[in-house]
């Protein structure tokens, strides 16, 4: 794509992002806080933790946290994969450099 | 059990396969009734390379994969030139295509409905 | 409803995760132990997927919920006196179970193929760990009912896929492909996250069913529309739809052969996410027809550009990769036609149930598109495995340097031909069954679509004739040292070839048993999907 | 005080903070579109990520709310929504992971190609 | 910065400080369910201490101090522990917090409303904090070490 189209696309997408921001609800007044109010009210009774965020992270949305730990694990494995020591004689099956 | 009925017709692979085998058998039968007068090992069974002798190196006879369809690619050269140029290995262009498609989708969603 | 089937959705994610976390430790005990362990884990995963599918398709067909950490049992997603699900839900309907089957098939064959393919390679532990992580991410994407959870699994698949793409660090091309694909995956993931943030800001919840009901109640606001655009483009890009497909051939081509098939399953998982967004979350309102036509345009572009680009490739895996890109277009076409018809039925006030029972052409198109997902996974997986065997035997990926392999590796040749012919839609194989449904029903929308689809299918056959001619034909003297692939590599190929043939010979049975429930889950399952979470409906 | 139609009052109404996040995302897109250096493109991706995280955590703000932690809370004060903070934590860690992988890929690309210029890293094309 | 690390001032200060940083990280992990923080944040703090060691003493200076294999094994153990804690509640549901309000181990009931907080509460949450903390500190540390050594090889090549 040439430069002009690129600039046009960039401007369009930025404009729509600004449009999304301006047509959001007002800052500081959530539309529907039922779920979060439930967390705030019932964390101490259900989980027994004072830190609501940690309770959400590890109990109510604990599966997300498992996925998050998995993402970190995946990244570690991938980086170790890239920087691993490898045998010299494993250049085969048409792996032309 | 085998067949599927689309809203328009029926496709039954089992019947198709049986029919195919039947036609194959008929064809082989017709072939078996053919003329037996030619002799093996003579010129009648040699490949005919438009009068040229068959080269010793059989590699010379192998048409490489890349040589197939050169005519079609040549015929569509205008299209191929444009499309292959769009696959520049440059990451900026890929991101640009992505962003352009995103902007286009936004425009369509907001202007058409 | 026995306990295992009840826990099957979450175990499908947790068991591969367990394997992935444990592989680097178990690998210290030696290669044999590790391979046995991975074989067990993969087999258990496939068995769980089969159990889930059997339980769903054998059951009543209502979406099956799993509340993660739910103190008050499984069936009650909502706390008393609350209208919002507060915990992460797994929601399994026909489409999810169907996708689980596809992923299980591809993963099983890919992993068992790898045992022989990667024998004398370094970093085997990390390879299998990444493979299992990719599997777990794909299963999570297909089973979850929570937007943010979907994003998390999307990122898991992205990172694991890129780790596998860049696995052969001594190839400069693989590193280049790894960087490009990682950058684009991250970008699409960030767009999806931005869309999720917008939806959360609008509706104050992250559950798909709740957001869907909110949109159904209050209509599609501007912010929802922008979120829809972001989700649509991001997921279509991760599925590899033209014009956002440029990463796909790099990824499929540079990844090790067994994982290329799993990457295709990954693309199909994001395609599933796209369908979920379009059918369930934004399944009502004025803009369905627009979304559907966007899908159809993407589909036509994908089919045509993919095939024509495949025709001029000289790298075997890159050629197959472009073929796989074009097949994504057929799924998009089928489901897009179905969405168009669904929109018109909804606008006309018709009944979706009757149209589904009367085999309306929209429903038939969706059957074709969804059935083609399974066929594409089997055929492309078979082709990639065969190409891996060919590349390993011939020592090159360039079609101009290959030749005469049919003399040396007969079984691989047969499997390659089966996969190629089936993918090109030649009767009586399975590709023809699904493509026939797509042709006939796309014709009702516009003959142009069917013509493009049929032409591209013929060209795909030509593409594979080129690959076959280049790799297998020719004299014996071409590559004299090449030998037949090991049995450990032939058996997975044989399994996939068997799947291809069986699905081709008995398409009606499979369409009735698994494809129709999956299509119905998208076609008319929106209310059931919402009602299973929020009650009523 | 206000610029144009956007009010500055952070404790109450107005969309001005969201616009800041959108502008951050736009900066990141600019870097991805027009910068030729791999490292700069990674920086662009992190910019987008920061914008999205900022947007996510701003969505959860409730005017006059305190941090949702009962250990420090003073009685009677409302609390901001906890979920977006949890999500932001998750997405920050995900961003860390992706950035680490991207940078190590950049190291290897430089090792193979000897350059970080995107225009020279195009073996895979056509 | 050469392979020997940075100047003597930095190294001396690091010797004083990194222990304190690690202790603070452990505190953040331990009180994750009471005060701001948690497993991820505390683990990141501890990993930052390792990174500080790395930059101030150089790749050669930490040879033998930080064992890469041990770090990776610890990370896998942390991940497995987290997954196992998630599996523990499978009797009811995956991720079911079965220790909360059990009365015993980490099961103390907390009073409603603002309170100084009870350390022996929260059920599985503190244990998950520990698992994730271990995982994150070792994971980030091994990422940093591996990338630094790889980049060093890059410079020498």
- Look at A35 and E64; give whichever has higher pLDDT: A35
Residues B93-108: pLDDT tens digits?
Answer: 999 999 999 999 999 9
Has residue A60 been placed in a domain? Answer: yes
Position D83 scores a pLDDT of: 92
Residues C408-466: pLDDT tens digits?
Answer: 888 999 999 999 999 998 888 999 999 999 998 999 889 999 999 999 999 999 999 99
Mean pLDDT for all residues in chain D = 86
Smallest Cα distance from A80 to chain C, Å: 8
Q: Read off the pTM.
A: 0.94
Is D93–A72 a contact, with Cβ atoms under 8 angstroms apart?
yes
Interface check C25 vs E, CB under 8 A? yes
Number of domains in chain A: 1
C335: pLDDT strictly greater than 60: yes
Taking alpha carbons only, the member of E23, E78, C512, D100 closest to residue A81 is D100
Residue % of chain C over a pLDDT of 70: 96
E157: pLDDT strictly greater than 60: no
Q: Which of D93, D101, D105 to mutate to test the interface with C (most CBs of C within 10 A)?
A: D105
Position C371 scores a pLDDT of: 94
* Distances C183 to C159, C238, C470, C475, D98 between C-alpha atoms, Å: 10, 12, 34, 44, 9
Is E38–A51 a contact, with Cβ atoms under 8 angstroms apart?
yes
Residues D29-82: pLDDT tens digits?
Answer: 999 999 999 999 999 999 999 999 999 999 988 888 888 888 877 777 788 999
What are the backbone dihedrals phi and psi of residue C409, each rounded to the nearest 5 degrees, phi first?
A: -125, 85
Is B4–C471 a contact, with Cβ atoms under 8 angstroms apart?
no
Domain that holds residue A68: 2-25+34-82
Cα B53 from chain centroid (whole Å): 31
Q: Which residue of A has its CA nearest to E100?
A: A47
Cα dihedral B88, B94, B99, B101 sign: positive
Q: What whole-number distance in Å separates Cα of residue C84 and Cα of residue C89? A: 12
* Of the candidate ranges C250-264, C475-489, D12-26, the one whose mean pLDDT is the lowest: C475-489
Which stretches of chain A are assigned E, i.e. beta strand? none
A95: pLDDT strictly greater than 60: no
* Of the candidate ranges C4-13, C473-482, C483-492, D18-27, the one whose mean pLDDT is the lowest: C473-482
Residues C223 and C211: beta-carbon distance below 8 Å:
no
Confidence category of residue D5, pLDDT binned at 50, 70, 90: low
Give partners of E (≥3 CB pairs < 8 A).
A, C, D
- Look at D28 and E68; give whichever has higher pLDDT: D28
**Average pLDDT of the residues in E22-45:** 90
Residues C302 and C325: beta-carbon distance below 8 Å:
yes
Question: Model ipTM?
Answer: 0.92
Q: Which of A7, A14, A16 to mutate to test the interface with B (most CBs of B within 10 A)?
A: A16
Domain that holds residue E12: 8-155
Q: Which residue of E has its CA nearest to C8?
A: E94
Domain boundaries, chain C: 286-505
Residues B8-50: pLDDT tens digits?
Answer: 778 888 899 999 999 999 999 998 888 777 777 777 777 677 7
What are the backbone dihedrals phi and psi of residue C89, each rounded to the nearest 5 degrees, phi first?
A: -110, 140
Fold of the domain built from segment(s) D2-123:
Helix Hairpins (1.10.287)
Is A82–D23 a contact, with Cβ atoms under 8 angstroms apart?
no
Has residue A89 been placed in a domain? Answer: no
Contacts of C400 (CB under 8 A, 6+ apart): B64, B65, B66, C314, C470
**Average pLDDT of the residues in E32-39:** 86
Has residue A62 been placed in a domain? Answer: yes
Has residue E106 been placed in a domain? Answer: yes
Smallest Cα distance from E24 to chain D, Å: 18
Domain boundaries, chain D: 2-123
Is B103–A13 a contact, with Cβ atoms under 8 angstroms apart?
yes
Has residue E1 been placed in a domain? Answer: no
Beta strand pairing status for D2-3 and D6-7? Answer: antiparallel
Has residue E142 been placed in a domain? Answer: yes
Residues C20-41: pLDDT tens digits?
Answer: 999 999 988 888 899 999 999 9
Position A94 scores a pLDDT of: 46
Mean pLDDT for all residues in chain C = 89
Interface check C24 vs A, CB under 8 A? yes
* Of the candidate ranges A90-94, C362-366, E139-143, the one whose mean pLDDT is the lowest: A90-94
* Tokens representing residue B34 in the block: 């053919």
Position E117 scores a pLDDT of: 77
- Look at D9 and C287; give whichever has higher pLDDT: C287
Has residue A94 been placed in a domain? Answer: no
Residues C132-175: pLDDT tens digits?
Answer: 999 999 999 999 999 999 999 999 999 999 999 998 888 888 99
Say whether B52 sits in a helix, a strand or coil: strand
Give partners of B (≥3 CB pairs < 8 A).
A, C, D
C226: pLDDT strictly greater than 70: yes
* Of the candidate ranges B45-59, C431-445, E18-32, the one whose mean pLDDT is the lowest: B45-59
Q: Which residue of A has its CA nearest to B95?
A: A6
C87: pLDDT strictly greater than 70: yes
- Per CB-CB distance under 8 Å, the chain D contacts of B77 are none
C45: pLDDT strictly greater than 50: yes
């Amino acid at each position: 794509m040439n430069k002009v189209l690129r600039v046009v696309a960039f401007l369009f997408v930025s404009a729509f992002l600004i449009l999304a921001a301006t047509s959001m609800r007002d800052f500081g007044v959530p539309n529907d806080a039922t779920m979060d109010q439930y967390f705030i009210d019932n964390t101490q009774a259900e989980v027994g933790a004072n830190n609501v965020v940690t309770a959400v992270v590890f109990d109510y949305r604990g599966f997300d946290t498992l996925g998050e730990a998995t993402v970190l694990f995946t990244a570690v494995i991938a980086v170790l994969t890239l920087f691993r020591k490898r045998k010299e004689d494993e250049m085969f099956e048409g792996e032309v450099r | 059990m085998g067949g599927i009925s689309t809203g328009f017709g029926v496709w039954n692979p089992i019947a198709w396969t049986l029919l195919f085998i039947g036609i194959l058998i008929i064809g082989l039968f017709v072939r078996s009734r053919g003329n037996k007068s030619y002799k093996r090992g003579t010129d009648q069974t040699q490949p005919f390379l438009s009068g040229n002798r068959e080269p010793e190196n059989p590699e010379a006879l192998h048409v490489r994969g890349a040589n197939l369809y050169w005519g079609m690619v040549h015929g569509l050269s205008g299209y191929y030139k444009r499309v292959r140029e769009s696959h520049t290995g440059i990451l900026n262009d890929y991101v640009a295509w992505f962003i352009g498609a995103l902007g286009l989708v936004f425009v369509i969603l907001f202007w058409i409905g | 409803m026995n306990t295992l089937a009840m826990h099957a959705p979450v175990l499908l994610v947790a068991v591969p995760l367990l394997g992935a976390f444990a592989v680097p430790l178990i690998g210290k005990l030696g290669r044999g132990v590790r391979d046995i362990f991975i074989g067990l884990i993969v087999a258990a995963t496939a068995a769980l997927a089969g159990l889930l599918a059997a339980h769903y398709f054998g059951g009543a067909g209502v979406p099956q919920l799993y509340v993660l950490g739910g103190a008050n049992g499984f069936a009650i997603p909502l706390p008393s006196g609350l209208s919002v699900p507060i915990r992460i839900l797994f929601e399994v309907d026909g489409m999810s179970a169907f996708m689980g089957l596809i992923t299980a098939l591809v993963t099983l064959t890919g992993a068992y193929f790898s045992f022989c393919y990667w024998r004398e390679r370094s970093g085997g532990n990390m390879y299998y760990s990444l493979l299992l992580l990719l599997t777990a991410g794909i299963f999570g994407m297909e089973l979850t009912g929570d937007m943010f959870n979907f994003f998390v699994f999307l990122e898991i698949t992205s990172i694991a896929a890129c780790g596998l793409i860049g696995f052969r660090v001594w190839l400069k091309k693989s590193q280049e492909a790894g960087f490009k694909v990682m950058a684009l995956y991250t970008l699409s993931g960030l767009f999806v996250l931005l869309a999720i943030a917008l939806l959360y800001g609008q509706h104050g919840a992250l559950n798909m069913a709740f957001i869907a009901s909110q949109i159904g109640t209050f209509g599609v606001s501007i912010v929802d529309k922008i979120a829809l655009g972001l989700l649509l483009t991001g997921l279509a890009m991760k599925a590899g739809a033209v014009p956002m497909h440029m990463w796909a051939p790099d990824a499929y081509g540079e990844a090790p052969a067994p994982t290329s098939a799993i990457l295709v399953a990954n693309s199909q998982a994001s395609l599933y996410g796209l369908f979920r967004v379009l059918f369930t979350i934004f399944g009502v309102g004025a803009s369905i027809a627009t979304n559907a036509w966007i899908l159809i345009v993407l589909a036509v572009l994908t089919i045509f550009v993919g095939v024509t680009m495949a025709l001029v490739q000289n790298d075997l895996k890159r050629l197959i990769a472009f073929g796989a890109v074009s097949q994504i277009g057929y799924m998009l076409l089928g489901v897009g036609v179905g969405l168009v018809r669904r929109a018109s039925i909804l606008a006309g006030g018709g009944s979706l149930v009757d149209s589904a029972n009367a085999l309306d052409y929209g429903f038939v198109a969706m059957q074709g598109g969804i059935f083609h997902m399974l066929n594409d996974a089997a055929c492309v997986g078979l082709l990639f495995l065969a190409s891996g065997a060919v590349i390993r035997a011939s020592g090159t990926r360039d079609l101009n340097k290959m030749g005469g392999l049919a003399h040396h590796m007969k079984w691989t040749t047969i499997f390659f031909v089966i996969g190629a012919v089936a993918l090109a839609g030649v009767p009586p194989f399975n590709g023809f069954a699904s493509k026939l449904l797509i042709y006939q029903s796309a014709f009702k929308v516009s003959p142009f679509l069917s013509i493009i689809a049929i032409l591209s299918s013929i060209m795909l056959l030509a593409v594979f004739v080129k690959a076959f001619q280049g790799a297998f034909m020719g004299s014996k003297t071409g590559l004299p040292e090449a030998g037949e692939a090991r049995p450990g590599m032939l058996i997975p190929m044989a399994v996939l070839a068997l799947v291809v043939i069986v699905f081709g010979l008995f398409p009606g049975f499979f369409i009735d048993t698994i494809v129709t429930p999956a299509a119905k889950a998208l076609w008319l399952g929106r209310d059931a999907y919402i009602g299973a979470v929020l009650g009523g409906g | 005080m206000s610029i144009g139609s956007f009010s500055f009052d952070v404790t109450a109404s107005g969309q001005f903070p969201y616009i800041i996040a959108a502008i951050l995302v736009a900066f990141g897109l600019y870097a991805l579109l027009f910068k030729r250096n791999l490292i700069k493109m990674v920086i662009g991706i992190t910019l987008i990520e920061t914008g999205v995280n900022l947007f996510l955590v701003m969505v959860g703000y409730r005017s006059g709310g305190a941090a949702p932690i009962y250990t420090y809370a003073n009685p009677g004060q409302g609390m901001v929504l906890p979920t977006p903070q949890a999500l932001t934590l998750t997405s920050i860690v995900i961003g860390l992971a992706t950035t680490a992988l991207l940078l190590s890929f950049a190291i290897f690309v430089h090792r193979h190609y000897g350059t970080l210029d995107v225009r020279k890293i195009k073996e895979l094309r056509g | 910065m050469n392979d020997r690390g940075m100047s003597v001032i930095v190294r001396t200060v690091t010797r004083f400080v990194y222990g304190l940083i690690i202790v603070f990280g452990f505190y953040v992990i331990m009180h994750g369910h009471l005060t701001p923080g948690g497993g991820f944040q505390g683990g990141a703090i501890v990993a930052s201490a390792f990174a500080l060691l790395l930059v101030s003493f150089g790749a050669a200076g930490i040879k033998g101090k930080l064992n890469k294999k041990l770090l990776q094994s610890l990370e896998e153990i942390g991940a497995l522990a987290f997954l196992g804690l998630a599996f523990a509640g499978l009797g009811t549901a995956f991720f079911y917090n079965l220790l909360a309000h059990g009365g015993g181990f980490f099961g103390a009931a907390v009073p409603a409303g603002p309170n100084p907080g009870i350390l022996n509460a929260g059920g599985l949450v503190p244990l998950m904090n520990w698992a994730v903390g271990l995982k994150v500190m070792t994971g980030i540390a091994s990422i940093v070490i591996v990338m630094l050594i790889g980049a060093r090889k890059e410079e020498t090549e």
